[in-house]
């Protein structure tokens, strides 16, 4: 696939804005100054490669060996450490009222001693605090600080009933939290302020305190707007406080949650310099292995090259059952850090408590040391400029927060089904936020995919029409654009004119069987469907009408049991099960069914194949990187300051969808073919995990090489 430099940049999504300006020798948007080589000197937090955190517990003032703590992190060559201040328990002799000191603190200053030990070893110090909870003794003097239920009662924490939840809209966040921040900065040499558990990570808060009663209905789109205003205001306020200490200091907070994050990530990215993903490991039963990589795609989409970190919990992040003070398996910890590094995030390694951390269970220490030593040897290749991808997946935060799809399984399953199919098809793709659909972003992609993005505004629909008019291809499913940004249902989907459809009735569900799709005529999206006239269509569908003979037609759902009645009363209709169109240079695919969700819930290979075939048809089979070989892998490709890097994550494992990885299952040869600008010459290809050079061949704008083996993760660094 021969491409010139302009075409390469079009395929390189998520362009780092500062890098583009730096290449012109200009002052960058990221706050740095370009040197004589054209490369910018970014702020300190964009230069960090490793972060460490021992999350203090109440006994740590008497348990923690401070020098051993500092030596461990220095031995990992971390650039910064998180040191606990906390708004729940103070680890320094605070004078702020209602900031309860650890009962083991005595006359010690654990925070100050740790901060000094870290500074002595050249590490940045970030003051960590948790403003989400406070103690029962504050209820009576400051009832206005706390969340209330509908009857006016305070909301205790589920595990520790002496702690109560604080309200984001209260003076707790504008008076009490700033008092702690200013006290810490006045006493200690810190480089940043960090809040854990704020903004709320587990959904929009529901509060009926006096301040919140003035707001819109909880969990409504109107309330979300007010919540986002408050979060942005507090973020700016705290960052201003951080910069009172030093201009280069900053505030940042815990985010994460993937597409289901609580704040509007696009809006928040306008005010935050550092996006930390509190995505420490797999949680919940049946969680797929790629959670960190998916989180990285989300953060990269909105931050556009600014600082993104991801917390890897070395402790047992098991979901249903937790053990905070024993380590998870080495393989599980490694694959989480692999994904963090591959997807463009900086590794933040985390443990809880000194007694278990430096005494009882020490397995986590060697895991971290081994991984960070490797990473340090190859820092150069993790200095990225832009992703290389030609497919964009639209992430709809509003749909994830406010829309409940008909039937079983929520919005995340649409994303998961599409994600899995893209991994199986080995496509390179980026995420694109629904509020970032302008041509400067989406114009980089050959195709956009909309996995049931049900809530889209008229303006967003216009942007997608403009994208198609400019030659971009589009795939959508089910109730995409059936609702506006406030949840009002349209008569026809907002993109109906693009796909040439109109609604033909309410959503139809299964009846034992889901609905089937009858093959009516040949098409490229049906490649591999031999010796069959029927394939699965999905569980639920939005009936539509369209002109012309369909490629697939709907066979309506019918009884599955008893088997004597499991036959189709109506075996042929003119209702399309897929719309396939070409319009100018654009290709368009619309599935009226819940294709991605059904693919995820059923695991049916036909549905995954249909998704993969459709994406391949949309992009005309052209990808900037192709990887051929056995196994389930996830691919990332980056342009770096030293050339290019292709990251391959090996998910081939019996525990890919459940539990932890017990060990890695290596896969064999992977043949890589990468398109680069023809004016770039590759001098060598190095495998960073194997730590050796491999043969390669360059023919104009195409580079080919073979990776002989992958255990958990391999990075092919192309020096160009």
Closest to 397 in 3D by CA, of 218, 259, 256, 204: 259
Whole-angstrom distance, CA of residue 450 vs CA of residue 481: 10
Among candidate residues 583, 618, 653, the one where a domain is terminated: 618
Number of domains in the chain: 3
Q: Residues with Cβ < 8 Å from 703, sequence gap 6 or more?
A: 673, 674, 676, 682, 685, 696, 697, 718
CATH of the domain at 60: 3.20.20.80
Q: State which residues form the domain around 639.
A: 625-719
Q: Is the domain of 269 the same as that of 361? A: yes
Q: What is the pLDDT of residue 157?
A: 95
CB 685 within 8 A of CB 717: yes
Q: What is the pLDDT of residue 322?
A: 82
Place of tokens 């729940």: 88
CB 389 within 8 A of CB 430: yes
Q: Residues with Cβ < 8 Å from 320, sequence gap 6 or more?
A: 284, 285
For residue 9, is it within any domain? no
β-sheet bridge partners, residue 220: none
Chain length of the chain: 720
For residue 565, is it within any domain? yes
Whole-angstrom distance, CA of residue 6 vs CA of residue 677: 8
Q: Is the domain of 580 the same as that of 666? A: no
Whole-angstrom distance, CA of residue 165 vs CA of residue 157: 7
Q: Is the domain of 226 the same as that of 300? A: yes
For residue 30, is it within any domain? no
Q: Is the domain of 609 the same as that of 650? A: no
CB 171 within 8 A of CB 131: no
CB 146 within 8 A of CB 164: yes
Q: What is the pLDDT of residue 389?
A: 97
* Model confidence pLDDT, tens digit, residues 22-55: 332 222 233 333 444 455 688 999 999 999 999 9
Whole-angstrom distance, CA of residue 545 vs CA of residue 579: 10
Q: Is the domain of 708 the same as that of 604? A: no
For residue 554, is it within any domain? yes
CATH of the domain at 692: 2.60.40.1180
Q: Is the domain of 306 the same as that of 412? A: no
For residue 498, is it within any domain? yes
For residue 455, is it within any domain? yes
For residue 156, is it within any domain? no
Q: What is the pLDDT of residue 34?
A: 42
Q: Is the domain of 262 the same as that of 372? A: yes
Q: What is the pLDDT of residue 353?
A: 86
Q: Is the domain of 313 the same as that of 174? A: yes
β-sheet bridge partners, residue 327: 315
Q: Is the domain of 497 the same as that of 575? A: yes
For residue 283, is it within any domain? yes
CB 27 within 8 A of CB 34: yes
Q: Is the domain of 568 the same as that of 541? A: yes
Among candidate residues 618, 634, 654, the one where a domain is terminated: 618
Measure the CA angle with vertex 631, ends 627 and 632; round to 5°: 85
Whole-angstrom distance, CA of residue 162 vs CA of residue 139: 10
**b/e map 299-335, b = 16+ CB within 10 Å:** bbbbbbbbbbbbbbbbbbbbeeeeeebebbbbbbbbb
> Which regions in the chain score pLDDT beneath 70?
1-40, 319, 355-359
3-state class (DSSP) for residue 129? strand
Place of tokens 């397995």: 363
Q: Is the domain of 437 the same as that of 305? A: no
Q: Is the domain of 101 the same as that of 235? A: yes
Among candidate residues 377, 402, 434, the one where a domain is terminated: 377
Q: Residues with Cβ < 8 Å from 365, sequence gap 6 or more?
A: 72, 358
């Amino acid at each position: 696939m021969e491409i010139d430099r302009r075409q390469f940049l079009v395929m390189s999504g998520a362009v780092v804005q500062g890098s583009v300006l730096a290449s012109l020798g200009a002052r960058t948007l990221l706050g740095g100054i370009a040197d004589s080589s054209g490369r910018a000197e970014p702020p300190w937090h964009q230069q960090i490669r490793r972060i460490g955190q021992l999350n203090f517990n109440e006994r740590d003032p008497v348990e923690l060996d401070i020098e051993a703590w500092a030596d461990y992190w220095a031995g990992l060559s971390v650039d910064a450490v998180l040191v606990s201040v906390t708004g729940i328990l103070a680890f320094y002799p605070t004078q702020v009222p209602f900031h309860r000191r650890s009962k083991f603190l005595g006359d010690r200053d654990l925070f100050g001693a740790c901060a000094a030990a870290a500074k002595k070893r050249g590490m940045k110090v970030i003051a960590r605090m948790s403003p989400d909870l406070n103690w029962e003794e504050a209820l009576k003097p400051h009832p206005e600080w706390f969340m209330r239920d509908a009857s006016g009662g305070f909301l205790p924490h589920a595990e520790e009933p002496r702690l109560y939840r604080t309200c984001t809209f209260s003076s707790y966040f504008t008076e009490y939290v700033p008092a702690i921040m200013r006290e810490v900065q006045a006493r200690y040499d810190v480089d940043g302020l960090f809040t854990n558990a704020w903004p709320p990570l587990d959904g929009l808060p529901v509060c009926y305190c006096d301040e919140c009663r003035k707001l819109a209905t909880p969990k409504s789109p109107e309330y979300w707007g007010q919540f986002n205003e408050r979060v942005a205001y507090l973020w700016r306020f705290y960052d201003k406080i951080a910069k009172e200490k030093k201009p280069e200091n900053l505030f940042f907070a815990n985010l994460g949650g993937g597409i289901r994050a609580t704040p509007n990530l696009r809006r928040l990215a306008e005010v935050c310099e550092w996006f930390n993903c509190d995505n420490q490991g797999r949680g919940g039963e049946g969680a797929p292995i790629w959670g960190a990589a998916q989180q990285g795609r989300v953060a990269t989409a909105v931050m556009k090259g600014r600082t993104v970190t991801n917390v890897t919990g070395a402790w047992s992040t098991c979901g249903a059952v937790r053990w905070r003070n024993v380590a998870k398996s080495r393989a599980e910890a490694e694959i989480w850090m692999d994904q963090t590094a591959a997807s463009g995030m900086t590794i933040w390694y985390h443990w809880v408590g000194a007694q278990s951390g430096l005494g009882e269970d020490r397995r986590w220490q060697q895991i971290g040391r081994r991984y960070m030593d490797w990473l340090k040897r190859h820092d150069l290749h993790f200095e990225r400029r832009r992703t290389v991808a030609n497919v964009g997946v639209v992430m709809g935060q509003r749909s994830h927060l406010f829309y409940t799809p008909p039937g079983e399984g929520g919005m995340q399953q649409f994303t998961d089904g599409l994600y899995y199919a893209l991994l199986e098809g080995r496509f390179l793709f980026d995420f694109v936020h629904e509020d970032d659909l302008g041509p400067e972003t989406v114009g980089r992609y050959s195709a956009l995919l909309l996995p049931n993005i049900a809530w889209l505004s008229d303006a967003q629909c216009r942007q997608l029409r403009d994208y198609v008019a400019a030659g971009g291809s589009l795939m959508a499913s089910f109730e995409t654009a059936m609702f506006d940004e406030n949840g009002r249902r349209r008569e026809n989907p907002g993109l109906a004119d693009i796909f040439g459809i109109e609604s033909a009735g309410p959503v139809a569900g299964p009846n034992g069987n889901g609905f089937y799709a009858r093959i009516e005529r040949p098409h490229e999206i049906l490649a591999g469907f031999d010796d069959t006239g029927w394939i699965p269509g999905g569980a639920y569908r939005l009936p539509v009408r369209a002109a012309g003979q369909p490629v697939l037609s709907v066979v309506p759902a019918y009884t599955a049991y008893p088997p004597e009645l499991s036959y189709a009363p109506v075996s042929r209709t003119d209702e399309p099960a897929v719309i396939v169109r070409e319009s100018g240079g654009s290709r368009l695919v619309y599935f009226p069914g819940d294709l991605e969700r059904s693919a995820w819930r059923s695991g049916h290979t036909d549905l995954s194949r249909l998704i993969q075939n459709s994406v391949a048809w949309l992009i005309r089979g052209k990808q900037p990187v192709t990887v051929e070989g056995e196994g389930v892998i996830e691919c990332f490709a980056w342009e770096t300051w030293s050339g290019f890097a292709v990251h391959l994550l090996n998910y081939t494992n019996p525990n890919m969808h459940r539990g932890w990885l017990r060990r890695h299952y290596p896969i064999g040869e992977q043949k890589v073919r990468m398109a680069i600008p023809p004016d770039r010459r590759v001098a060598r290809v190095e495998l960073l995990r194997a730590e050796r050079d491999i043969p390669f061949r360059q023919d104009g704008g195409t580079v080919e090489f073979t990776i002989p083996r992958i255990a958990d993760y391999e990075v092919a660094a192309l020096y160009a």
